[in-house]
A and B are shown apart, each in its own frame.
Chain A
Amino acid sequence: GAGVSQTPSNKVTEKGKYVELRCDPISGHTALYWYRQSLGQGPEFLIYFQGTGAADDSGLPNDRFFAVRPEGSVSTLKIQRTERGDSAVYLCASSSSGGRETQYFGPGTRLLVL
C-alpha cells in the first residue's frame, strides 16, 4: 500500500512568514510523529500524536511551532514567524499503534527560510 507522504517536497519562504507542512500517514496508522533534521545531523523529535491528540509535544522548540491532527489521520505542522534557523528537513513518520514499534518515514519537506 501507499507509504507516508508529505507535501510540499520543498518550501522556500522569507523570514517572518507562516508555513504549513502536511503529512499523510499510512492508512490505519494511529500514531504519527514529526521530526526535524538539520544538515549533517540525525533527526530530532518534535511531537507525537496518538489519534487526534498530541501525546507528547515536548520536542517542539518554542511556541512558534504547532501541529494538529483533527481527524486522526492527516497532520499539519505549522510554523509562525519563521526564522532562518528553522531551515531543515521536516520528517513525518507513522506507526500502527505507537507501541514501541517500527516507525515508517515519509520523504520529508525541505524548508528553507531566507
Chain B
Amino acid sequence: SQQGEEDPQALSIQEGENATMNCSYKTSINNLQWYRQNSGRGLVHLILIRSNEREKHSGRLRVTLDTSKKSSSLLITASRAADTASYFCATDGSGSGSRLTFGEGTQLTVNP
C-alpha cells in the first residue's frame, strides 16, 4: 500500500520557473528520499533527508522536511526541459525495516 501522497499529481511550468512538489506520509520515519523517473523506467536517487534534518540542498534542488506535519517538499529552481519526469518521495518507516514506501508521484512537465 502507498503511504505517501504527492501533490500535485501533475505540474506543468515554463523553463526557468521554479517547481515545487509536496509529499505527505502517515507513519513516523527514519528518513525520506526523493527519486526521479523518466518514462516509467529506473529511478534516479536525488536526495535523502533524515528525520532530524529540516532542510537539505543539492545543486538546484532544495528539500524540506516537517516531521510534525508529516510532510516534505521538493523545490527545483530554474527548471529546464530536461527536468521533465515523474518525481517520487519514498519513506523508510521506523517500523518497516529497510523497505521504502513510495507515493504515487508528481508528473512534472517543463515546457521550453
Contacts and interface: CB of A to CB of B under 8 A. Distances in A.
Interface in B70-112: 88, 90, 92, 97-105
Interface of B: 1-2, 4, 30-31, 33, 35, 40-45, 48, 88, 90, 92, 97-105
B18 to A, nearest CB: 24
Interface of A: 4, 31, 33, 35, 37, 39-45, 48, 55-56, 59, 89, 91, 93, 95, 98-108, 110
Contacts of B99: 33, 45, 48, 56, 59
Contacts of A110: 40-41
Given A42-B4, A42-B102, A44-B102, A91 B97 contact: no
B45 A39 contact: no
B63 to A, nearest CB: 14
A103 B100 contact: yes
With most chain B CB atoms within 10 A of its CB, the pick from A35, A44, A100 is: A100
Contact of A39 (B30, B40, B101, B102): B40
Given A48-B97, A55-B97, A104 B45 contact: yes
A108 B102 contact: no
B43 A105 contact: yes
A99 B105 contact: no
B40 A102 contact: no
A90 to B, nearest CB: 11
